[in-house]
Amino acid sequence: MATAVRNSTLAFHAGHLRTNPRAGSALERVRNRTANIAILGLGHVGLPTALNFCEMGWQVLGADSSPEILEILRRGDVPFYERGLQELLTKHLGLKFHVVDDLGAAIRQATVLFICVGTPQRENGEANLSQVESVARSIASNLNDYKLVVGKSTVPAITAQWVRRTIQRYSHAHDNGAIEFVEPEFDVASSPEFLREGAALHDLLHPDRIVCGIESDVARDILQEIYKTTNAPILVTETSTAELIKHAANSFLSMKISFINMVADLCEAVGADVDKVADGIGMDPRIGPGFLKAGIGFGGYCFPKDLRAFIHLAEDYGLEFPLLREVININELRAESFLKKVRRALWVVQGKTIGVLGLAFKPGTDDTRESPSMRIVHALLEQGAILQLHDPKAIPNLRTNFPEREHEFVYCDDPYQAARRAHALLLLTDWPEYKSLDLDRIRNFMEVPVVVDGRNIFEPTSMENAGFEYYSIGR
Ligand code: UGA
């Protein structure tokens, strides 16, 4: 198994490109499409990535540590909602996509291994990399041939180098426990994923860019071969830079959102319109129009966690990042400032029936992790409101994890039911279907026609003309 021999002192990346004698035949197998790809971790990144590789013609082995996820997939169902994913699973399951119980088997049968496991946050904000380490150790004990190990999960800089170290350490121990270090044949790389939940398959098919952090020529050539059918520019860097690009991108995007949210407050104070301000500044190509939508703040599994992990990484190296702390602070105050609007509209919240449209952290997903809508829902319940909740996708999961409580909150099958006899209707997720609601019907259903729009879905004038008392953000 192991061929190259070198000193047991492990040096982190020293700027040179590595060579592996057996890597050449791996590259050949990738070029002629006989190599398999393994996706280790089948969550919101792993599963769409796996099925996208199937679409590109690869044979893909998918493994996950959760028996429930494997069971759901084996039945032919997707474990979470993502547009188009069910269709792709149905198309490829058992043909190009193989669900594998045994992580070791997936590793042994594949040449290119993508690590897509979760990197949740610890209480202090640091990324918990135990799942990454565990996969690296499994790789170490299943190195039957050259492997390219590619990190796709969002991780702090130098994780790839720790993955390399871990594989070296444990394959060494597994090999023969000898004192002399025997280097197994593999390369590590980092190719962070930039897909958005709710648009995952679109983003995989049409990426803006592909970042390949590599430390060998072969790793670069293999990744370029794999990605050559996407027309995106490929940026080749070393691994830590690639990892940092992902954290910096998510932090920058969150910063844009917190910035526009502060501007929204100022617009409200002076009577300006934040949507127009966003249009006006977004026309400057140096700023760009994206991620300037004011609202109740950002949520989801990525931005809040990645911001904290990035700050923690900086602090680990003795650097403060107060700018990003402020991005988080501003975001955390959004829910409270929205609740103030609700109180201003209703005066007394206790005992009022409130319809809530949108529970997922954004449209296109059933994910409610760190959803600002859920934060608002919990606060309103604490204040004694009676809630009628609607979301086009999130309710089936919520029914299990956050079951209905009589006289406190119910789930509704459609938005009109949520508006029935309500004293206010809150718009918390900008699902496209809410834009085309029959407003006359909504108004007729409501006890008092008050709408508080946390996503600026509607125009103030048309809502007033439609007979609503309408509140929105920064206008
Ligand atoms: C984000 C990044 O956009 C992806 O590039 C990245 O790959 C992903 O994190 C990840 O790290 O895995 P995602 O969390 O799926 O993707 O969702 P976004 O579309 O970025 O939205 C995040 C939050 O920001 C949502 O709550 C959304 O409502 C909010 N948002 C977004 C705003 O409040 N205003 C905006 O202008 C844009």
Counting Cα atoms < 13 Å in the Cβ hemisphere of 370 gives: 16
**For residue 316, what pLDDT is reported?**
95
Indicate whether 217 and 292 sit together in one domain: no
Mean pLDDT of 324-335: 98
Question: What pLDDT does 177 receive?
Answer: 52
Whose Cα sits closest to atom 20 in ligand 1?
A: 196
- The owner of tokens 């007729």 is 444
Does residue 27 sit in the same domain as residue 111?
yes
Question: Which residue type, as a one-letter code, is found at position 203?
Answer: D
- Establish if 450 belongs to a structural domain: no
CATH number at residue 260: 1.10.1040.10
Please tell me whether residues 79 and 223 are part of one structural domain: yes
How confident is the prediction for the chain on average, in pLDDT?
A: 93
Positions marked active-site: 302
C-alpha to C-alpha distances, 361 to 47, 108, 121, 155, 265, nearest whole angstrom? 20, 38, 18, 22, 21
Nearest atom (ligand 1) to Cα of 249: 5
pLDDT band with cut points at 50, 70 and 90 for residue 394: very high
Which of 80, 206, 250, 330 to mutate for ligand 1's pocket (most ligand atoms within 8 Å of CB)?
250
- Per the structure, the count of domains in the chain is 2
Domain end among 284, 309, 325: 325
Split at pLDDT 50, 70, 90, the class of 231 is confident
Which of these, 194, 160, 158, lies nearest to 313 by C-alpha position? Answer: 158
Note the pLDDT of residue 172: 67
pLDDT(444) > 90: yes
Ligand 1 atom closest to Cα of residue 429: 28
Query: From the CA of 22, how far away is ligand 1's center (Å)?
Result: 41
Nearest alpha carbon, ligand 1 atom 36: 291
Asked whether residue 176 is assigned to any structural domain, the reply reads yes
What integer pLDDT is reported at residue 176 of this predicted model?
A: 53
CATH number of the domain to which 147 belongs: 3.40.50.720
- The answer on pLDDT for 251 being more than 80 is yes
Q: Are residues 258 and 212 in the same domain?
A: no
Torsion angle (degrees, nearest 10) of CA 401, 407, 408, 410:
50
Is there a single domain that holds both residue 165 and residue 286? no
Ligand 1 centroid, distance to 126 Cα (angstroms):
20
CA of 121 to the centre of ligand 1 (A): 17
Nearest CA to ligand 1 atom 18: 196
C-alpha 51 – ligand 1 centre gap (Å): 22
Which of 44, 81, 196 is the pocket-test mutation for ligand 1 (most atoms within 8 Å of CB)?
196
User: Could you report how far apart the first and last alpha carbons of the chain are, in Å?
Assistant: 66
Ligand 1, closest atom to CA 306?
11
Residue 13 has pLDDT above 50, yes or no: no
- Kindly state whether residues 182 and 272 are assigned to the same domain: no
pLDDT at 473 over 60: yes
| 125-175 pLDDT, tens digit each | 999 999 999 999 999 999 999 999 999 999 999 999 999 999 999 986 555
Classify residue 403 by its DSSP letter: -
Enumerate residues lining ligand 1, CB below 6 A: 154, 193-197, 250, 253, 257, 291-293, 295, 298-300, 302-303, 306, 361-362
Average pLDDT over residues 10-16: 40
Cα→Cα distances 436→190, 199, 432, 440, 459, Å: 42, 21, 7, 12, 12
Substitution candidate for ligand 1 out of 253, 259, 275, 365 with most atoms within 8 A of CB: 253
Show Cβ contacts of residue 443 under 8 Å, excluding neighbours closer than 6 positions: 449, 466, 467, 468
Name residue 260's amino acid: I
Mutate to test the pocket of ligand 1, among 119, 197, 455 (most ligand atoms within 8 A of CB): 197
Residues 50 and 19 in one domain: yes
- Could you give the residue ranges of the DSSP H alpha helices within 215-238? 217-227
- Range of lowest pLDDT (95-99, 167-171, 344-348, 434-438): 167-171
Do the beta carbons of residue 195 and residue 37 sit within 8 Å? no
In-domain check, residue 312: yes
* CA-proximal residue: ligand 1, atom 14 (nearest): 302
Residues 114 and 224 both lie in one domain: yes
Shortest-distance atom of ligand 1 to CA 290: 36
211 inside domain: yes
* C-alpha neighbours within 13 Å on the C-beta side of residue 227: 24
Give the residue from 361, 379, 378, 380 showing the smallest Cα distance to 370.
361
From atom 30 of ligand 1, which residue's Cα is the shortest distance away? 298
In a domain, 59, yes or no: yes
Q: Determine phi and psi for 361, rounding to 5 degrees.
A: -70, -15
Q: How far apart are CA 413 and CA 33, in angstroms?
A: 47
Q: What is the mean pLDDT of residues 6-15?
A: 36
Question: What is the rounded distance in angstroms from the CA atom of residue 135 to the CA atom of residue 45?
Answer: 16
For residue 468, how far is its CA from the centre of ligand 1 (angstroms)?
A: 30
Q: Are residues 158 and 94 part of one domain?
A: yes
CA–centroid distance, residue 202 to ligand 1 (Å): 15
Tokens (6 digits) for 216: 């060998």
206 plus 289 within the same structural domain: no
385 lies in some domain: no
Q: State the distance from the centre of ligand 1 to the C-alpha of 223, rounded, in angstroms.
A: 26
Residues 167 and 31 in one domain: yes
Q: Whole domain around residue 31: which residue ranges?
A: 13-237
Q: What is the spatial distance between Cα 131 and Cα 329, in angstroms, rounded to a whole number? A: 29
Flag whether pLDDT at 119 surpasses 70.
yes
Q: In this predicted structure, what is the pLDDT of residue 173? A: 54
Same domain membership, residue 100 and residue 145 = yes
